[in-house]
Amino acid sequence: MADEQQVTAVGNEVSASFLAAKRLSDETLTRLDANPGAFTMLTGDRPTGRLHLGHYFGSIRERVAMQNRGVNTNIIIADYQVITDRDTTEHIRDNVLNLVLDYLAAGIDPTKTMIFTHSAVPAENQLMLPFLSLVTEAELHRNPTVKSEMEASGHALTGLLLTYPVHQACDILFCKANVVPIGKDNLPHVEITRTIARRFNERYAAKHPVFPEPAAILSDAPEIPGLDGRKMSKSYGNSIMLGATAEETAKLIRKSPTDSERRITFDPVARPQVSALLTTAGLVTGRDPKDIAEEIGNAGAGALKKYVIENVNEFLAPHRERRTELAKDMDSIRDILNDGNRRANAIAERTLDEVREAMGMKY
Ligand code: TRP
C-alpha cells in the first residue's frame, strides 16, 4: 500500500513496472518456498562504509533466511561500484573486511554462502564486453537511478557510472542467479539484466539458453528512517551501526532531535523524528510502534530514548559479541574472502566458456 502510493507519485509508467516487478517477486517467492534448492540468489553491497540497522532489517536478515532454507546464496562485495560516483578508494580494504565481519556475525555461513569481490574475478568482469553490445546508449541514459546518482555526486557522468547497471548484470548472470533481493532503487538494474539475458539468449543461444532471466525480490520490510526522521545516510550521521559500541549507540540516540510536544504519539507524517525512534524500537522488539507510543505516553522523549537505547543495545548485543570475537582473527576473515573469490573465479570461468562457445569464439 505504502509502496503503491509512493510509486504513483513518481509517475504511472514507473508505477506499472514497479507493480509488475512486485508481482513477479511475490510469485517467485511462492515457488521458492516450495523448492528452495532450485534457486540461486545473488545480491550484494558497495563497500562504502559500515552496515547499519537499516541494512540488517532491509536485507541481511533475508539473506540469512534464504541461506538457511537451502537456497544457493551468493554475496558480492561490489568494490568496483565504489568508484562509480566518487574519486577515491580510501578505506576500501577496511570497509570490505568489515562487511565480511558483519555478514558472519549476522549468521551468514561461508560454507553455504559464497562471499567475494568484483576485483578478484576477472572472468566476471569480462562478460561486460559482450553485454555492452546488447544495450543501446539511449537505454543506458534512461536509467533513473543512474540519473539521480549522477546528480547527487555533483560530478560529470563517467563511463563507469553510465554502464554500471550492465556491470551489475555481470554480477548477477555470471553465477546464473535467478533471484536478486534488492531495494527499489536497484530495480532498473535488474530490468536491464533481464533484457541482457534475453537478448544474449536470442542472439547467440536460441537452442540452449545460457542465462536465466532473474527476478528481483522486493522485501516487505518497512523502510527504516534515520534517527532524525530523514533517510538513513552516512553523511547525516543518523544511523545505528551494527558494529558500534553500546555507548556510541546510546550517545547517538540521546542526541537525536525530537519535537516540543511532550506526549509521545506515532505519526510519521506530522512527527517524523519521534516516529523514527518508535519505528526503530518497534523493529528491534517486534512490537507495534503505536503500542510503544501509548505505553510511554506523557513520559516524553527522554523516556522514549531510554527505551530505544536499551532495546537496540539488547537486540544488537549478540551480534556485537560475535563480531568482536571474529575480529580477533582477521587472517581467517581474509581466508574466507579469498576462498569465496576462488570459488567465484571457477564459476565465472565456466560461464565465460559457455559464452565463448555460444558466440563461436572457441579456437
Ligand atoms: N547496487 C547495489 C547497491 O546499491 C550493490 C550491488 C552490486 C548489487 N552488484 C549487485 C545488488 C548485484 C544486487 C545484485 O548496494
Same domain for 92 and 12: yes
Tell the residue nearest (CA) to atom 2 of ligand 1: 45
Tell the residue nearest (CA) to atom 3 of ligand 1: 45
Q: Which residue has the cell 568494490?
A: 79
Nearest to 163 by CA among 191, 139, 186: 139
Pocket of ligand 1 contains residue 180 by CB under 6 Å: yes
Q: Which atom of ligand 1 is nearest to the CA of 78?
A: 7
What pLDDT shows up at residue 13? 61
In contact, 131 and 150? CB cutoff 8 Å: no
H or E segment and range at residue 66:
helix 61-69
Same domain for 240 and 216: no
Within-domain flag for 100: yes
Give the residue ranges of the chain where pLDDT is below 50. Answer: 1-10
Q: What's the gap in Å between 190 CA and the centre of ligand 1?
A: 10
> How does pLDDT run across 26-63, given as a tens digit for each residue?
999 999 999 999 999 999 999 999 999 999 999 999 99
Report the domain count for the chain.
2
Q: What's the gap in Å between 45 CA and the centre of ligand 1?
A: 5
Q: What's the gap in Å between 85 CA and the centre of ligand 1?
A: 14
Q: How far apart are CA 273 and CA 53, in angstroms?
A: 17
**Structure pTM?**
0.94
Q: How many CA atoms lie within 13 A of 338 on its CB side?
A: 6
In CATH, what number is assigned to the domain containing residue 264? 1.10.240.10
Alpha carbon of residue 261 to chain centroid: 36
- Of 42, 75, 189, 233, best ligand 1 pocket probe by most atoms within 8 Å of the beta carbon: 189
Same domain for 205 and 175: yes
Same domain for 279 and 175: no
Query: Which three cell numbers mark 60?
Result: 541481511
Longest dimension (CA), the chain: 78
Within-domain flag for 271: yes
What pLDDT shows up at residue 160? 97
List the beta bridge partners of residue 116. Answer: 76
Q: How far apart are CA 227 and CA 90, in angstroms?
A: 27
What pLDDT shows up at residue 2? 39
> How does pLDDT run across 89-131, given as a tens digit for each residue?
999 999 999 999 999 999 999 999 999 999 999 999 999 999 9
Nearest to 51 by CA among 226, 244, 230, 189: 244
Pocket of ligand 1 contains residue 313 by CB under 6 Å: no
In this structure, is the dihedral angle defined by the CA atoms of residues 94, 146, 28 and 22, taken in order, positive or negative? positive
What pLDDT shows up at residue 7? 42
What pLDDT shows up at residue 15? 80
In CATH, what number is assigned to the domain containing residue 117? 3.40.50.620
Same domain for 319 and 188: no
Tell the residue nearest (CA) to atom 14 of ligand 1: 43
Pocket of ligand 1 contains residue 32 by CB under 6 Å: no
Pocket of ligand 1 contains residue 285 by CB under 6 Å: no
Q: What's the gap in Å between 259 CA and the centre of ligand 1?
A: 36
Same domain for 194 and 55: yes
Nearest to 56 by CA among 223, 179, 215, 169: 223
- Domain hosting 173: range is 2-221+341-358
What pLDDT shows up at residue 1? 36
Within-domain flag for 54: yes
Same domain for 293 and 152: no
Q: How far apart are CA 257 and CA 277, in angstroms?
A: 10
Within-domain flag for 178: yes
The residues near 110 (Cβ < 8 Å, ≥ 6 apart) are: 104, 336, 339, 340
What pLDDT shows up at residue 241? 97
- Of 52, 73, 171, best ligand 1 pocket probe by most atoms within 8 Å of the beta carbon: 171
Burial profile 221-232: b = 16 or more Cβ within 10 angstroms, e = fewer: eebbbbbbbeeb
Pocket of ligand 1 contains residue 72 by CB under 6 Å: no
Helix (H, G, I), strand (E, B) or coil at 136: coil
The residues near 69 (Cβ < 8 Å, ≥ 6 apart) are: 32, 36
